[in-house]
């Protein structure tokens, strides 16, 4: 049987993915007809999807066995009431590797106070300050899924005391894990650097609001490569203005691209990165897509399924 695959992720992705995806499907031994069009939705077996493209109504895809997201974050598709097919999100080793490097890089920047040396070349030899050690700086990772656990583990290997927080308690070697409201109170009160790696859901939107910011340590640093709407922007700006939050390194925003007149761009305590923390890399993403289609064709459970009731 030939699997009909509808690539509904836009022309730019189609140009990038068509050839490597065909190669990955062939490598996985799958007979497939891959197209960026679905003239008859009732004949489609799999949909490959990225937000902002094509489908708003999934109900005509009556035979579709799964919708496979090119993105790890699925907040733009998971709440769609017409989507009744299983939804798998993108999880792959290179995406995780990219996120670990982003988090470790930005944590080390703040931990070591690198900015003072990068921007302060004034001819004055200031060597009186003892450089800090990672073992003396507590870092929190909120969201202990694929990406959060990998980032927390890498930080723990560098000797940072790491606190992890998630909905359900985890056991991760080298990481002190917490869950629930009381767990979050503790984690925020102790960490000097807080990394946000949660998905955006009804429960996590504006989680970092004025009350939660006030719980953080004086001059705490926030690093957010999760989703922009995890943070109440107005509350963060006031906490930054007041110096209660020492710095925010933000990769994701409510509106992307971040509008040119947004106060984050000019704020001296904010670093904006343009949603580049961890991108989906074509070759490894194609292997993940092909593996899930192979599983679907063999009647095996799909990998990386989204729990629609939880929204991630
Ligand atoms: N900036 C970028 O380039 C980029 C790239 C990829 C992904 N991302 C973002 O990173 C997010 C995380 O990705 P992932 O692959 O690690 O997701 P994941 O494996 O689904 O993990 C999500 C984690 O968040 C926790 N969580 C969810 N809702 C919660 C709540 N209400 N309270 C406490 N914890 C909660 C989950 O808890 P449980 O473990 O208890 O379920 C889980 O530990 C994505 O959703 C996406 O938004 C950004």
3-state secondary structure of 299: coil
Helix runs in 87-193, H state only: 93-112, 114-119, 146-157, 180-190
Q: Is 251 in the pocket of ligand 1 (CB under 6 A)?
A: yes
- Considering the entire predicted model, what is its pTM? 0.96
Give the span between the Cα atoms of 143 and 128, in whole angstroms.
38
- Taking alpha carbons only, the member of 222, 261, 256, 259 closest to residue 239 is 222
Question: What pLDDT is recorded for position 53?
Answer: 73
Q: Is 275 a catalytic residue?
A: yes
Q: Is 10 in the pocket of ligand 1 (CB under 6 A)?
A: no
- The answer to whether 103 and 225 have CB atoms below 8 angstroms apart is yes
Question: What pLDDT is recorded for position 225?
Answer: 98
Per-residue pLDDT reduced to its tens digit, 224-282: 999 999 999 999 999 999 999 999 999 999 999 999 999 999 999 999 999 999 998 99
Buried b (16+ CB within 10 A) or exposed e, 54-67: ebeebeebeebbbb
- Taking alpha carbons only, the member of 53, 152, 103 closest to residue 251 is 103
- The answer to whether 223 and 193 have CB atoms below 8 angstroms apart is yes
Low-confidence ranges of the chain (pLDDT < 50): none
Question: What pLDDT is recorded for position 129?
Answer: 86
Give the span between the Cα atoms of 200 and 285, in whole angstroms.
22
Alpha-carbon 235 to chain mean position: 22
C-alpha 80 to ligand 1 mean position (Å): 19
First to last CA, the chain: 32
Question: What pLDDT is recorded for position 51?
Answer: 87
Give the span between the Cα atoms of 18 and 11, in whole angstroms.
10
Q: Which of 73, 209, 224 to mutate to test the pocket of ligand 1 (most atoms within 8 A of CB)?
A: 73
3-state secondary structure of 193: strand
Residues pairing with 7 in the sheet: 48
């Amino acid at each position: 049987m030939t699997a009909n695959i509808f690539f509904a992720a836009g022309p730019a992705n189609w140009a990038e993915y068509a050839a490597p995806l065909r190669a990955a499907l062939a490598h996985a031994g799958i007979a497939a007809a891959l197209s960026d069009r679905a003239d008859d939705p009732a004949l489609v077996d799999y949909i490959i999807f990225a937000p902002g493209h094509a489908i708003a109504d999934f109900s005509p895809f009556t035979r579709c066995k799964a919708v496979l997201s090119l993105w790890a974050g699925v907040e733009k598709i998971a709440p769609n009431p017409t989507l009744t097919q299983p939804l798998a999100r993108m999880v792959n080793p290179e995406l995780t590797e990219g996120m670990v490097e982003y988090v470790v890089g930005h944590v080390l920047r703040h931990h070591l106070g690198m900015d003072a040396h990068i921007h302060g070349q004034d001819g004055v030899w200031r060597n009186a300050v003892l450089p800090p050690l990672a073992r003396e700086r507590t870092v929190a990772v909120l969201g202990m899924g694929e990406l959060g656990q990998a980032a927390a583990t890498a930080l723990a290997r560098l000797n940072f005391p790491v606190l992890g927080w998630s909905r359900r308690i985890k056991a991760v070697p080298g990481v002190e894990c917490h869950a629930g409201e009381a767990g979050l109170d503790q984690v925020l009160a102790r960490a000097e650097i807080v990394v946000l790696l949660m998905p955006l859901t009804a429960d996590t939107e504006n989680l970092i609001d004025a009350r939660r910011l006030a719980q953080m340590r004086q001059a705490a640093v926030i690093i957010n490569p999760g989703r922009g709407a995890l943070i109440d922007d107005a509350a963060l700006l006031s906490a930054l203005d007041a110096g209660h939050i020492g710095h925010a390194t933000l990769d994701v925003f409510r509106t992307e691209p971040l509008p040119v007149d947004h106060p984050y761009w000019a704020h001296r305590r904010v670093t904006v990165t343009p949603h580049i923390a961890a991108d989906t890399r074509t070759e490894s993403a194609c292997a993940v897509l092909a593996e899930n289609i192979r599983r679907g064709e063999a009647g095996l459970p799909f990998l990386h399924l989204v729990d629609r009731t939880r929204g991630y």
